[in-house]
């Protein structure tokens, strides 16, 4: 009988607790993976012997994220360091030295629903109901600030969202699937289209003018995006959380969308890196850069298409290219699903039919969430379209 590797790992962490101690720590902001190894008396060869894509994964450790250490006396036996909501670094003590691997996180996504009646403010009321500090901010990002400026006490909000859970704790940020905001008895809807990860209203119209562009003129895609995949021969997980665009050294790199610079500096195997925070909880990452645009600093606001730096080969790189990563909260997502050369203002044809089928189910769910909401009556009888009669 074959026992999964993750199960064996859990058993190893659970057995012989009298002799071993499990400790939880927060990853120090600004600490590199190499410095972490040095601080814990682990050979740096553990990192240097990794293939390039795995070295890049070691650069994705998020500051202040919680990691786990299993000690036997003063000896570190195992370490688990999360690098996303799906994957973690596993370091294990061997007879000689240590081994390193990338394994799945034992977590699960759960669907959650919430109905809020506005009493004080959206942020305070949402936190009091869900104890989640980011859900309200995500909702405001989807609908726009102006929507919530005109809300009054007694207006209602219904949300269907998913949340990753690990060991009973929230992991990453919630992902809103659909939402209804009622303002003066009139309801407004947003649906996250599963086919392009963007939000639309019930008429399949784009909810905002936000979109991302490919950040440079490239020669070719040298390495595409892939989620963790189990290699049947190596018996190991492999992933590449981004797209590598091969381009000449010094080629201009532009901001993929409007946003704010939240990181500028070296980031392990990524070398010189820049991270920009965008609307809708998106972040873009630009790595292996040769240099940054002069005067660009952390906290500075940039516009879509603005020059931010130049293609290089810093960090772990076999040649000049741009590693372009895209994240929704802590989740790495395929840029090809979001980045577009032109903005889609309205879905048409087959895309709209698929969206309508999805939206109808979400409208039914939002209706169930809003059973105490007087507005739910007008959209009880939904047929084969997303039209909703006004009250």
Contact 196, 334 (CB under 8 A): no
Residue 141 structural domain: 108-208+346-379
Is the confidence at residue 388, as pLDDT, over 70? no
49 and 90, same domain (yes or no) = yes
Structure confidence at residue 373 as a pLDDT band (50, 70, 90): very low
The string of pLDDT tens digits covering residues 274-327 is 999 987 778 999 999 999 999 999 999 998 889 999 999 998 887 899 999 998
Same domain, 115 and 197: yes
Question: Does one domain contain both 204 and 351?
Answer: yes
Do 333 and 354 belong to one domain?
no
CATH of the domain at 140: 3.10.450.350
Share above pLDDT 90 across residues of the chain, in percent, rounded to a whole number: 40
d(CA 338, CA 214): 10
* Nearest-5° Cα angle at 193, 192 to 197: 80
What number is the average pLDDT over the span 55-78? Answer: 88
Evaluate whether residue 213 is within a structural domain. Answer: no
**Roughly what angle, to the nearest 10 degrees, separates helices 122-130 and 135-143?**
140
- pTM score > 0.85 for this model? no
- Residue at token pair 């084969």: 384
The total number of structural domains in the chain stands at 3
């Amino acid at each position: 009988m074959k026992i999964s590797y993750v199960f064996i790992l859990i058993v190893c962490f659970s057995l012989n607790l009298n002799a071993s101690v499990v400790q939880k720590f927060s990853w120090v902001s600004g600490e590199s993976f190499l410095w972490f190894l040095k601080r814990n008396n682990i050979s740096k060869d553990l990192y240097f012997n990794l293939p390039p894509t795995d070295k890049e994964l070691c650069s994705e450790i998020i500051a202040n994220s919680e990691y786990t250490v299993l000690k036997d006396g003063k000896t570190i036996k195992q370490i688990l360091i999360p690098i996303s909501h799906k994957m973690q670094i596993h370091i294990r003590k061997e007879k000689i030295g240590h081994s390193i691997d990338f394994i799945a996180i034992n977590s699960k996504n759960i669907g959650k629903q919430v109905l809020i009646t506005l009493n004080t403010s959206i942020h305070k009321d949402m936190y009091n109901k869900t104890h989640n500090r980011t859900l309200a901010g995500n909702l405001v990002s989807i609908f726009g600030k102006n929507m919530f400026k005109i809300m009054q006490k007694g207006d209602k909000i219904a949300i269907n969202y998913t949340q990753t859970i690990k060991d009973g704790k929230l992991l990453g940020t919630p992902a809103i699937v659909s939402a209804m905001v009622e303002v003066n008895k009139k309801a407004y809807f947003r649906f996250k289209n599963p086919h392009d990860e963007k939000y639309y209203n019930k008429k399949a119209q784009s909810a905002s003018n936000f979109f991302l562009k490919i950040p440079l003129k490239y020669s070719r895609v040298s390495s595409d995006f892939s989620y963790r995949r189990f290699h049947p021969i190596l018996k190991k997980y492999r992933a590449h959380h981004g797209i590598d665009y091969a381009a000449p050294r010094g080629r201009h790199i532009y901001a993929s969308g409007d946003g704010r610079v939240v990181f500028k500096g070296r980031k392990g195997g990524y070398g010189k890196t820049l991270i920009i925070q965008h609307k809708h909880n998106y972040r873009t990452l630009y790595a292996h850069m040769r240099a940054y645009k002069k005067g660009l600093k952390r906290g500075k606001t940039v516009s879509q298409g603005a020059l931010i730096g130049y293609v290089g080969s810093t960090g772990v790189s076999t040649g000049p290219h741009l590693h372009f990563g895209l994240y929704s909260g802590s989740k790495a997502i395929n840029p090809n699903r979001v980045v577009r050369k032109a903005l889609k203002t309205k879905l048409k044809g087959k895309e709209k039919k698929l969206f309508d089928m999805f939206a109808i189910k979400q409208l039914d769910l939002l209706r169930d969430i809003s059973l105490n909401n007087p507005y739910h009556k007008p959209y009880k009888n939904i047929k084969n379209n997303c039209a909703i009669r006004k009250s």
